Structure 1
């Protein structure tokens, strides 16, 4: 992902979105593979099939990736947390931390919520497929708009929509299959945008030569947010799925607020600015 910033500037968000669509396609195909093969060849062999497919695709990716810029042999010695002293990067990292903490909660818990609501295991599996299916256009269309309207501006809308959908639609869905499918697809669309735009927002705070190390720092910190978000949601789930939904929605709204602050720190507080 870091090499994309070497090749694209004006269309960087859209290029990153195109690259990220592979995650959505895999999110559709891999659950289907597991569902239909695990009862016949056991779960372990289903995972091995996915591993072989992943290895083949990664081998192709390895052969295709090139960089426009010389490799810095001293980059490992310079990999520190000093970039966090830059308020633009620190604010953006905090916003991504909250986003990563929220974005995987629905995809993790909506299958078990579906079973808890009285629907079948097949429906629970299909909802996850629908959610990942929604991420495919979500990883393409909002990034395309982001190159015109501003990456941070679009990210604010994206996280805000995720929060509103979670608090307004999922929390009211109950055992309604139509409402759950609608939420899965529409939330998938906006969450796909959040996942593909986050790295582009990092690139707005640094030069292309610094992007690799800064994205590594940002996502190392954000991974803690993801673990905390999913883990805390699991604790809340022991008491109430409603609490899980509220927790995820509030995290998304906090992420939207954090991106507003990050945008202000990076570019100022004028709303008419494309950034």
Structure 2
């Protein structure tokens, strides 16, 4: 985020935010989710949903903060302020995070994605499914603001649509997690992904510059897409022993990240 403020060429943004930002996010998100799963089994869905809900809260606050800061201090300093906020939050997380299981010895097997796991057919099919789920849900999340701007929606409201979507996502990460522990993790994920598809077809495609429809779409899609973030790790964890979860999750998302 600090270097993002110095970017002035397209490839600068790709290197700074695309490559370094993606690498940093994966190094933070993967062990955090794995650590939570080590402590829960029967209630893993709701536990992961609550933890992932914190990301949705950030998704509500950050677009609004960024919009305000850019108007006041410019883009470069706005990104540096966000970097400071994230440094504080990540510092607290690094201090408080722990693992229930003993630390494994440093070896290639423990740090490199294990492609041999793909001989497990259910894991292979789940990874492919998650690949397309993540590919689908992040397109609206990434482009809802620019879509609204392109259709004549005021700039302020365009930023707010992303915050509205993340507000819906907060509840969509927590509540489906509870029902997933009761009804089955894969069952709930299939239902919510199908409802995401309906939201796109029935609300987003015909929306154009219709503000009420865009707001309704942001709420609905945000809610149903939340489980695509919180339940996919839980579904992967259901296919392996707890002590192997980190390796399975990292291997699956090495493939998913290509989307």
User: Which category of TM-score, normalised to the shorter sequence, fits these structures?
Assistant: 0.7 to 0.9
CA distance in 1, matches of 2:218, 2:107: 41
Residue 175, structure 1, aligned to residue 209, structure 2: yes
What stretches of structure 2 of length at least 5 have no aligned partner? 1-32
Shift of 1:122: 1.2
> Which residue number corresponds to residue 236 of structure 2?
202
> Which residue number corresponds to residue 165 of structure 1?
199
> Which residue number corresponds to residue 6 of structure 1?
38
How is 1:21-170 mapped onto 2 (pairs within 5 angstroms)? Answer: 21-78=53-110, 79=112, 80-170=114-204
1:99-123 per-residue CA deviation (whole Å, 9 max, x = no partner) reads 1111110011211211221211112
Q: Judge which range, 71-80 or 84-93, deviates more.
A: 71-80
CA distance in 2, matches of 1:54, 1:166: 32
* RMSD, aligned α-carbons: 1.1
CA distance in 2, matches of 1:52, 1:76: 34
Q: List structure 1 runs of 4+ shifted beyond 4 angstroms.
A: none
CA distance in 2, matches of 1:10, 1:75: 31
How many residue pairs end up in the alignment?
A: 225
Q: Judge which range, 5-14 or 77-86, deviates more.
A: 77-86
CA distance in 2, matches of 1:136, 1:224: 25
Shift of 1:77: 2.9
What stretches of structure 1 of length at least 5 have no aligned partner? 226-275
Q: TM-score, normalised by structure 1?
A: 0.79
Shift of 1:74: 4.7
